[in-house]
Amino acid sequence: MPDERFFPPRNFAALEAEHSDYARSRVVILPVPYDSTASGWVGSREGPAAIIDASGNMELYDIGIDAEPYLVGIHTMPEVALHSGGPEAMVERVEQIVGELAGDGKFVVTLGGEHTVAVGAARAQAKRVPGLSVLAFDANADLRDTYLDSRYNHACTLRRISEVAPVTQVGLRSAEREEHDYIREQGLRFYSPREFRAAGAEAIAAQLAGDVYITFDLDAFDSSVVSAVGTPEPGGLHWDEVSDLLETVAHGHRIVGFDVTELAPSLGPRANAQLAAKLVYRLIGLALRE
């Protein structure tokens, strides 16, 4: 029974058992504290715990979408243990776990850690959902085939995901020349913030299939909004336009799962973890509201 003499449980949104028990929860939060391929500033392995801690300070009614997402039940899993076999083995571990949870009927939210963990989550969903498309928020192209001797470096994330599902990216403002040429040669739908604003949310959403997986690298936000990331870039996205795009996508598509990655809490103010927690909560509400 709840006892007001003690702090609430340490889980996403600090929910009591009625709304966080695994069997009764529709949503599962999967924390993956992994940043072994980080090549910028490090610290994203601390991101999942910081997001979960910050979520305990949220109001459970989201005034922005007029919803109480916690009512569907949100269970928080233990942190995924690191695999000493390297980043490919870690991706395979995440893929296996996400596949098992989704197979049990859960809506899986993966919290990184570095963006590499999204490869495993997206692969698991692509195996389950034919014709899946991916909406990626990211400042960086992440299209290298290999980087620092690995095909599973964080700089290769969207290249690996694009091998299992078509990717539409919003927020691009940093790429190697080879990545830029690859985007043009392949006709990829990668939009800078300026191009996204010119096109509009409806045009972006229209490019997606009916079923959508969302991968969110927090450096997609302008560094004045979120500075606690390993590779910040100026000229990024802002909260309201991101929220509007997500709401537009949710209105006409089925969001099958998502990840939020790359929060390095020691590199910025605590408000950054609060924003990440609110983003997770709002996306749950948008994806699962009737």
Residue 289's pLDDT band (boundaries 50, 70, 90)? Answer: confident
For residue 7, the model assigns a pLDDT of 86
Please give the pLDDT value at position 230: 95
Spatial CA neighbour of 218 closest among 93, 114, 68, 79: 114
Closest CA to 196 of 133, 252, 238, 258: 238
Round the average pLDDT of the chain to a whole number and report it. Answer: 96
pLDDT of residue 111: 98
CB atoms within 10 A of CB 149: 6
| Residues 172/138, Cβ–Cβ less than 8 Å | yes
Asked if 138 and 169 touch (Cβ cutoff 8 Å), the reply is yes
Contacts of 208 (CB under 8 A, 6+ apart): 133, 135, 168, 249, 253
Torsion, Cα 64 69 71 75, to 10 degrees, reads -150
Residue 1 has pLDDT above 70, yes or no: no
Give, in order, the Cα–Cα distances in Å from 111 to each of 56, 90, 231.
Answer: 16, 14, 18
Tens of pLDDT, residue by residue over 248-272, are 999 999 999 999 999 999 999 999 9
Q: Calculate the dihedral angle through the C-alpha atoms of 57, 94, 109, 76, rounding to the nearest 10 degrees.
A: -50
Helix (H) or strand (E) holding 48: helix 47-55
* pLDDT tens digits for range 26-85: 999 999 999 999 988 899 999 999 999 999 999 999 999 999 999 999 999 999 999 999
pLDDT (mean) for 144-153: 95
Mean pLDDT of 214-219: 98
Domain at 12-288: CATH code? 3.40.800.10
- C-alpha span between 117 and 36 (Å, rounded): 11
pLDDT for the residue numbered 3: 80
Residue extents of the structural domains in the chain: 12-288
pLDDT at 290 over 70: no
Q: Rounded CA gap, 17 and 38, in Å?
A: 36
pLDDT (mean) for 116-129? 98
Whether the CA torsion 112, 113, 116, 120 is positive or negative: it is negative
For residues 116-123, give the mean pLDDT. 98
> How far apart, in whole angstroms, are the C-alpha atoms of residue 260 and residue 30?
11
Quick check: 263 and 47 in contact, CB under 8 A? yes
Fill in the amino acid letter for 133.
S
pLDDT tens readout for residues 162-195: 999 999 999 999 999 999 999 999 999 999 999 9
Residue 18 pLDDT level (bands cut at 50, 70, 90): very high
Q: Is the pLDDT of residue 147 over 80?
A: yes
